Amino acid sequence: MLCDECGKNNATVHLTKIVNGKRSEAHLCQQCARKYTNLNTNFSIQNIMSGFLTDVHGIEKSKPLVCENCGLTYEEFKRTGKFGCSRCYSAFEKEVAPFVRNIHSHDSHVGKIPLKAGKELKSKKELEDLKFKLREAVENEEYEKAAEYRDKIKKMAEGD
């Protein structure tokens, strides 16, 4: 793709601007990008990702996350994979919760139902599982599966 400005060089800088829901794009070569934006276009992927993660998580490089109870830093947790106390999960929840959800498909303990448990507890657990599967199917745009789960949930609600 050629530069939108000079039309000679390959466009290596792609800018997207969204203002009030209106999107505009510019594809510029490095020379034109320097003229028009006063940007340093010698980006490194590490700088870009570092800035992105800082924006997404609101983490400042100068202020590390620390558990107020035990003093464990998030960096130490990442290195060891172990919390220092029971309050570390709360202190690092924003960073840790997505990983827990990816690994376990839930971000809360779901456990197992004992064999001697009542019928009500088992049906409640089954209903929660169906609702979770329904949300997952809708997110993955598997609408036929979602309809099956919806019908099962409806049938369970009518049985009460």
Flag whether 80 is in a domain.
no
Residue 42 forms part of a structural domain: yes
Residue 62 has what pLDDT? 53
How far is Cα of residue 138 from the mean position of the Cα atoms in its chain? Answer: 17
- Domain boundaries, position 19: 13-57
Number of folded domains in the chain?
2
Per-residue pLDDT, averaged over 111-127, amounts to: 73
What does the alpha-carbon distance between residue 101 and residue 91 come to, in Å, rounded to a whole number? 17
In a domain, 63, yes or no: no
Look at residue 101 and tell me if it is in a domain. no
Residue 156 has pLDDT above 60, yes or no: yes
Instruction: Say whether pTM exceeds 0.75.
Output: no
At residue 111, the pLDDT reads: 64
Short-list 122, 96, 120, 98, CA closest to 111: 122
154, pLDDT greater than 50: yes
Q: Taking the CB of residue 3, how many other CB atoms lie within 10 A of it?
A: 20
Query: What pLDDT is stored for residue 149 in this prediction?
Result: 92
At 114, the pLDDT band (50, 70, 90 cuts) reads low
